[in-house]
Structure 1
Amino acid sequence: MTNAAESVATEERADLTQEIREAILGGEFAPNQRLIEADISERFDASRASVRLALLNLAGEGLVERPPNRGARVRAITVAEAIEIVEVRIGLEELCARKAAEGLDDDGARVLRGIREGIERAVASSDLVEYGRLNQELDRRVREYSHHETATQLLERLRAQSARHQFRLAFLPGRAATSAPEHIAIIDAILARDADAAAAATRVHLDGILQVLRGLD
């Protein structure tokens, strides 16, 4: 009976992993904060079985850790770890940018132009929250348009682990003025269907992130 009930609960809240992930990445749960199943169950109106499965999923992604006999807690990613993650991402993101440029269709081009315009507006109005949202949307679209499932899965996991540090970087004074032209260069290269330029622009952007992270370290 218990297994059947847990199965039903899991099916009912298949989106719970995503909800808790977004709460962690959005800063609603702090690094090293304990994730108490009963509290999360109440907060998200989910069964304990669904919460337990979601936390196991997030532990697999590296966002949650489960020390023996201590329950689950938000994993704290150090700056040094964030640097290593970006170093690994470089090759994967270059690949996705290259594939996106090679296979971009008209609908994708229209979406990227909209993101480009949005980035320019957000920077001009100093709307860093919107700028950060557009950056995430651009990253997601490049992965989507690459149609490279393996690279996409690896990148989503790596980016989730380092998202908190990248959120910090986005709000550093003057950072948007530097990163916005880098994002626009990536968009322009993909729109031009220039795979080499898209890969090169992606590397320039990620090298810039590495320099800033090393300064924090």
Structure 2
Amino acid sequence: MTTETAPKQTSALDDAIAAIRDSILQGEFSPQQRLVEVDLCEQLGVSRAVVRNALLKLTTEGLVEHLPNRGVRVRAITLEEAIEIVETRAALESLGARKAAQRVSPEARQHLTSLREGIVAAVESGNLAEYSALHQQLDQFIRELSGHTTSSQILERLQAQGARHQFRLSFRPGRAATSAPEHLAIIDALLAEDPDAAAAATVAHLDGVIAAMREG
């Protein structure tokens, strides 16, 4: 009985974490909005223990915060904090890109080429949602390809914290026309298996992100 129940409990917790995280990142829960355990239980169809553990996990990710005698609320990330997050990401992602460029297999090359084609098509058709999804896939793939576990784990947490600011930035008019060539430069450097170029292209892209965030 115990061995059959444990996987279900783990799955319920993982699903609850993902659902609450997505609601925060997509703006369904606003910064500083209180998250009521009973309401989340009803919304997600899970127990209070699952919701409580999910909120604890999201606290470690920096997405929610526990207030003494006031419960849990969505943590507000200021612009300056978001910029600091991107600055930190630049150091780690350039390392990851450098490592990834040294590990490009035929399968990785095929996937990178497919992502490149998808990004070009999405921008040309004006499909910003698809473009946003593709550059997130590119970020994830580079982390996986790098084989650098420590930086990848830190980056996942940092990206979650700064995702709200970058999500809004992705849909700013004209932003895709600027950022798409930057993503393509990263892909081209990886396809060329050039670690220095991959690292430099990554830093240049994130410097551009910071500049755009400061412009508001």
**Normalized against structure 1, the TM-score is what?**
0.93
Amino acid at match of 1:13: A
Write the letter of the residue equivalent to 2:44.
Answer: F
2:13 aligned residue: 14
Counterparts of 1:21-36 in structure 2 under 5 Å?
Answer: 21-36=21-36
Alpha-carbon distance, 1:111 to partner:
1.2
Asked if structure 2 preserves the Cα contact closer than 8 Å seen for 1:10 and 1:53, the reply is: no
Q: Deviations over 1:106-140 (max 9, x none)?
A: 11111111111111011001111111111111111
**Segments of 4+ moved more than 2 angstroms:** 7-12
Identity of aligned residues (%): 58
- The answer on whether the counterparts of 2:64 and 2:75 sit within 8 Å (CA) in structure 1 is yes
CA apart distance, 1:8:
8.2
Distance in 1 separating the partners of 2:112 and 2:13? 30
Shift of 1:171: 1.2
Cα shift at 1:212: 1.1
Match of 2:57 in 1: 57
**TM-score in terms of structure 2 length:** 0.94
**What code does the residue aligned with 2:86 have?**
V
**Runs of at least 5 residues in structure 2 that lack an aligned partner in the other structure:** 1-5
Structure 1: which amino acid aligns with 2:180? A
Once the two structures are TM-superposed, the CA of residue 9 in structure 1 deviates from its matched residue by 7.4
Helix, strand or coil at the partner of 1:14: helix
Question: Deviations for 1:128-160, whole angstroms, at most 9, x for unmatched residues?
Answer: 111111111111111111111100000000000
Alignment of 1:1-217 (within 5 A): 10-15=9-14, 16-216=16-216
Alpha-carbon deviation of 1:173?
1.5
Q: Which amino acid aligns with 2:145?
A: Y
Q: Contact between 2:101 and 2:195, CA under 8 Å: does it hold in 1?
A: yes
Is the contact between residue 123 and residue 180 of structure 1 (CA under 8 Å) also seen in structure 2? yes
Distance 1:108 1:48 in 2: 42
Q: RMSD value over aligned CA atoms?
A: 1.5
Could you say if the C-alpha distance between residues 47 and 9 of structure 1 is closer, same or farther in structure 2, counting changes exceeding 3 Å? farther
**What residue is the counterpart of 1:4 in the other structure?**
none
Structure 1 residue 11: deviation in Å?
Answer: 2.8
Which of 132-141 and 20-29 deviates more? 20-29
AA partner of residue 138 (structure 1):
L
Aligned residues: 211
